[in-house]
Amino acid sequence: MENISSKTGLKKAIELAEAEQNVKLQQLKEQFLPALESLKPANLFRNTLNGISSSPYLIDNIIGTALSIATGYFSKRIIVGASVNRVRNLLGSIMQFGVTKVVAQHADTIKSYGRYFFQSFFRKKEQRIP
C-alpha cells in the first residue's frame, strides 16, 4: 500500500475501502442463509443418514454387531430358558458373552459360510443334455 499525501487520494482510498467492504458484506450475506439452513436439526439428521448409508464398511459393521448380539442372546435363551436357578443364569450370561465375542471376531467367516450353505441349498441343479 502506498502512502496517501492528498485529500483526493484519501477520499479515493476511503471510497475503495468502502466498496470492498460492501462487496465482502454482500458475499457474507449470501453465504449466511445456506450455512444457517445446513445447521437445522432436520438437515443435520438427513446428512448424517446419507453419510451412514453411503458407507459400506459401517453398514457391514452394524450388521456384524447386530448378528453377534442376537446370536449371543439366543444362545443364552436356549441354554437358560425360563430357569430361575442363579448358577444356570450366570453360566448362561457367561456363554452369551463368549458367543457374542466369538461371532463378533469372526463375522466375515460366518457370513461366508452362511452364503455357501444358502447357495448350496437354493442352487438350481444343472440339467445335462443327452
- Tell me the three cell numbers of residue 68: 453377534
- Tell me the three cell numbers of residue 49: 443418514
Q: Which of 92, 97, 104 is nearest to 67 (CA)?
A: 104
pLDDT in tens, 28-79: 998 998 888 888 888 888 888 887 777 777 777 788 888 888 988 898 888 8
> How far is 95 from 68, CA to CA, in rounded Å?
12
pLDDT in tens, 76-109: 888 888 888 888 888 888 988 998 898 888 888 8
Is the pLDDT assigned to residue 26 strictly greater than 90?
yes
> How far is 29 from 129, CA to CA, in rounded Å?
75
- The pLDDT score that the predictor gives to residue 88 is 87
- The rounded radius of gyration (Å) of the Cα atoms in the chain is 33
Question: Half-sphere exposure of 2 toward its Cβ, with a 13 Å CA cutoff?
Answer: 7
Is the pLDDT assigned to residue 11 strictly greater than 80?
yes
